[in-house]
Amino acid sequence: MSNTPAAHGEIWPNFLVIGAPKSGTTSLYHYLSQHPDVFLSRVRKEGRFFSGVGLGEVYWPEFYHFDTAPQISDYQALMGDYGGEARIGDVSPDYYAYAGKAAPRALELCGSQTRIIAILRNPVDRTYSHYLQNVRRDAEFLSFARALEDEPRRIRENWGFQWLYWDTSVYVDRLKIWQSHFPEMLVLLQDELDQDGPGTVRRIFDFLDLEPREVSTSERHNTGGIPTSKKMIIDGRFDSRMGEDFDALHAELIAPVSGTSSAKSADGVYPPLDDTPVSVPPMAASMRAHLQDRFEPSIQALEVFLDRNLDVWRP
């Protein structure tokens, strides 16, 4: 299980959990961390190195702090607690989002024997959950419909994946890139994790050639929802300002209320999550039907790629 490309005492992963975002990766981080032969950085869940997201090549609003590892030295600093575990991992959904850059960099630095794990979610639900996360974090000011309408502009202007809700839910092309670089790839569904957490984690341990271990999977991590105070965004209070500068909107609408101009947590969560009650507003039935129709071709393509039926994602 050694990492052949490692040099100069560097420590590199021999497995990666690449995402997709909002599909259960945070829960997997906590579950896999319970195995004594698995090392995952205790500094933060996500290494964010192989994608190059920290190199400033994509637009990321100034107020939304996002700890990254731009240089090898930054990434190696995350491995300081490594204690000789057989499996060294990194759970970073940006590796899925930026597959074209992340896969070849991971191949070069980690080697072809690196195991790749992807976990996917119903694209309709994933898209909405991703949007709600940004609303909760004061990182989205448009209603769901207007945010989707604005997405082509964001893509043209090279926004970070955190603001590309629809695009990030189209899975198959990114998975093909990873598979072309790494022959050993396990693709899971969040549905499987929800229905049989222990069994799904056992599949991962088997895929990683690890002895089975009973781990606690009862708690879900990084679940969705927004506080009542954010409902005005869902309802379209600021839709007329679509296209305005994000940082300027934050400075006007959020900073004076919160008393801060940037995220405080290591994982870029603004504002820091606390015990404020949250709920998931229902998606409009017409929007759900629209997204289901829009995603159907990509679901069919994924069925062919995975050679499995995905009716679980259909109403």
Taking only the tens place, the pLDDT of each residue in 142-157 is 999 999 999 999 999 9
pLDDT band at 259 (very low <50, low <70, confident <90, very high): low
The string of pLDDT tens digits covering residues 114-125 is 999 999 999 999
What the chain holds in terms of domains, given with CATH numbers, is: 15-313 (3.40.50.300)
Calculate what percentage of the chain has a pLDDT beyond 90: 77
For residue 87, the 8-state DSSP code is E
Amino acid at 187: V
- Separation CA 158–CA 61 (nearest Å): 12
Alpha helices in 19-143 (DSSP H): 25-32, 72-77, 94-97, 99-110, 123-136
**Across the beta sheet with 185-189, what order do the strands follow?**
38-40, 87-91, 15-19, 115-120, 185-189
| Confidence band for 207, pLDDT divided at 50, 70 and 90 | very high
Phi-psi bin for 22: left (phi > 0), alpha (psi -120 to 50), beta?
Answer: left
The answer to whether residue 197 scores a pLDDT higher than 80 is yes
27-31, 170-174, 259-263: the lowest-pLDDT one? 259-263
Q: Residue 126 above 80 pLDDT?
A: yes
* Closest C-alpha to 97, from 32, 50, 62: 50
**E strand spans, the chain:** 15-19, 38-40, 87-91, 115-120, 185-189
What mean pLDDT is predicted for residues 190-196? 96
Rg (C-alpha) for the chain, rounded Å, is 19
Over 90: is that where the pLDDT of 4 sits? no
Contact between residue 75 and residue 47 where contact means Cβ atoms under 8 Å apart:
yes
pLDDT value of position 261: 57
Question: Phi and psi (nearest 5°) for 80?
Answer: -60, -25
pLDDT digits (tens, 9 = 90+) for 165-178: 999 999 999 999 99
Task: Give the pLDDT confidence score for residue 264 in this predicted structure.
Answer: 56
Distance CA 127, CA 144 (A): 10
Measure the CA dihedral 287/293/133/275, to 10°.
70
Indicate the range of 61-65, 132-136, 248-252, 308-312 predicted with least confidence.
61-65
Residue type at position 97: A
Q: What is the pLDDT of residues 264-309, one digit of tens each?
A: 554 544 444 556 788 889 999 999 999 999 999 999 999 999 999 9
Between the CA of residue 35 and those of 85, 88, 191, 203, 205, what are the distances in Å? 10, 11, 22, 13, 9
Mean pLDDT of 211-229: 83
How high does pLDDT run on average in the chain? 91
- The pLDDT value given to residue 275: 64
Percent helix / strand / coil, the chain, rounded to 5: 45, 10, 45
Confidence of residue 229 (pLDDT cuts 50, 70, 90): confident
Of 207, 187, 213, 197, which Cα lies nearest the Cα of 37? 213
User: Maximum CA pair distance of the chain?
Assistant: 57
Determine the pLDDT at residue 219: 74
Nearest-angstrom CA–CA distance, 70 and 31: 27
Of 81, 57, 59, 78, nearest in space to 67 by CA = 78
